[in-house]
């Protein structure tokens, strides 16, 4: 690829077909549909029939900004492309295989598919550090052209999470960052617990490489196995038309209601989506997950073409890394702590949900959670941390119990 900083026009592909273009216009970036585009809209905030959508000061429209990675991986792309954070079109071109079914490539180029780098059945044959070197290389020619938004947690800003091809399909590989012990084991434990509590979660495995280093491999749920097939996906910031920087500035109800509307507009069930969002949020409160922000709640278009809430992701307890004082990332009707059972039922009423349905959800979660409290030692924390985590789970389970 030529120097992406010099690319002035980029093709935007939707579901494998050219749909529009991003064009530099001085310091602005303008999106417009191709005259002959007869497919679906690229995103909910980019409706068909609008001549152009313009962003200023080097930014791209919010939906496209939401496709960029965050944290360490974003810094790697900035360094590799020799550009800055506000040159967002360049960064999109370097990270070409973003989440969902939208791809951005230099005009005239065809999107590429990353080659498999890992066989999950034989993790001991590789070094995870070598795989991550490719994802964080300062050499633009050595960068994997892959991007994934929203995989960071504020408790682990140094973590590098990279999507990669595997012999069993597209996945995300996560490693423990320096100074944040057992982070991937933490997430693996609570994803497994969430599944036991009835929350849909992606397939995931805790692997060990040749050096014994732990890695969490999470199957991508915006891809369908078999022949490459991408599913449309948008997070709460994207459906609200907000830039990623707003992910902590929106409220939980604002995110939930916007996602619910998107599901309903896409032929799905708004009440089901809202109930599932409350379940994910209540479970996050139960386990002390202080990073359920606006990019960690998303909807997707399933293989049948119906929009729905995605499986829950980035579920872990952030408290051990935040001095046990990490509130919820987003407020729920003005509150980020002490979210007892009544608060969730009041929120459900404001959402227009039947109270009995949310009662069943809460009862199911607290009942299924009980045996997991005695298993938190499996994460690997020291005894005092393990005991404090178990105490937190017992306390919050009691708050959610009738």
Confidence of residue 192 (pLDDT cuts 50, 70, 90): very high
* pLDDT greater at residue 52 or residue 98: 52
The Cα 127–Cα 130 span in angstroms is 5
So what's the pLDDT on residue 160?
Answer: 60
So what's the pLDDT on residue 154?
Answer: 39
So what's the pLDDT on residue 72?
Answer: 64
What is the residue whose two structure tokens read 């005894």? 383
299-326: pLDDT as tens digits: 999 999 999 999 999 999 999 999 999 9
67-97: pLDDT as tens digits: 988 766 677 677 767 777 889 998 888 765 7
> What Cα–Cα distance (Å) separates residue 110 from each residue in 12, 96, 219, 378?
10, 10, 25, 46
CB 331 within 8 A of CB 198: no
> Other C-beta atoms within 10 Å of 184: how many?
27
Of residues 398, 393, 292, the one with CA closest to residue 341: 398
- Which of 105-114, 159-168, 217-226, 256-265 ranks highest by mean pLDDT? 256-265
What is residue 344's three-state secondary structure? Answer: helix
* pLDDT greater at residue 154 or residue 238: 238
| Token code pair at residue 219 | 């199957």
Confidence of residue 141 (pLDDT cuts 50, 70, 90): very low
């Amino acid at each position: 690829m030529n120097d992406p900083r010099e690319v002035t026009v980029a093709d935007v592909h939707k579901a494998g077909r050219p749909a529009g273009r991003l064009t530099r216009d001085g310091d602005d970036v303008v999106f417009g549909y191709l005259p002959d585009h007869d497919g679906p809209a690229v995103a909910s905030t980019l409706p068909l029939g609008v001549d152009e959508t313009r962003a200023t000061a080097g930014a791209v429209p919010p939906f496209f900004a939401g496709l960029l990675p965050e944290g360490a991986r974003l810094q790697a792309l900035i360094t590799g492309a020799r550009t800055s954070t506000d040159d967002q079109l360049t960064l999109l071109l370097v990270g070409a295989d973003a989440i969902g079914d939208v791809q951005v490539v230099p005009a005239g180029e065809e999107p590429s598919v990353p080659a498999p780098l890992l066989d999950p059945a034989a993790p001991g044959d590789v070094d995870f550090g070598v795989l991550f070197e490719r994802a964080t290389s300062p050499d633009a020619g050595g960068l994997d052209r892959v991007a994934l938004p929203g995989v960071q947690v504020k408790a682990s800003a140094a973590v590098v999470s990279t999507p990669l091809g595997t012999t069993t399909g597209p996945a995300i590989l996560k490693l423990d960052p320096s100074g944040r012990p057992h982070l991937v084991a933490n997430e693996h434990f609570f994803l497994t617990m969430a599944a036991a509590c009835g929350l849909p979660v992606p397939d995931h495995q805790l692997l060990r490489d040749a050096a014994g280093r732990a890695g969490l491999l999470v199957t991508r749920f915006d891809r369908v196995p078999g022949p490459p097939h991408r599913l449309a996906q948008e997070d709460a910031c994207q459906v609200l038309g907000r830039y990623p920087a707003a992910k902590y500035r929106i409220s939980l109800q604002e995110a939930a209601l916007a996602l619910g509307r998107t599901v309903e507009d896409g032929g799905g069930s708004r009440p089901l989506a809202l109930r599932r969002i409350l379940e994910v949020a209540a479970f996050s409160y139960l386990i002390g997950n202080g990073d359920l922000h606006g990019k960690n709640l998303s909807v997707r278009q399933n293989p049948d073409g119906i929009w729905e809430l995605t499986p829950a992701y980035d579920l872990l307890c952030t408290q051990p890394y935040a001095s046990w004082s990490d509130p919820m990332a987003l407020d729920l009707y003005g509150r980020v702590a002490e979210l007892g059972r009544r608060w969730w039922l009041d929120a459900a009423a404001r959402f227009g949900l039947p109270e009995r349905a949310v009662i069943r959800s809460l009862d199911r979660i607290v009942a299924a959670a009980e045996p997991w409290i005695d298993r938190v030692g499996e994460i690997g924390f020291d005894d005092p941390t393990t005991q404090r985590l178990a105490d937190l789970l017992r306390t919050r389970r009691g708050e959610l119990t009738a």
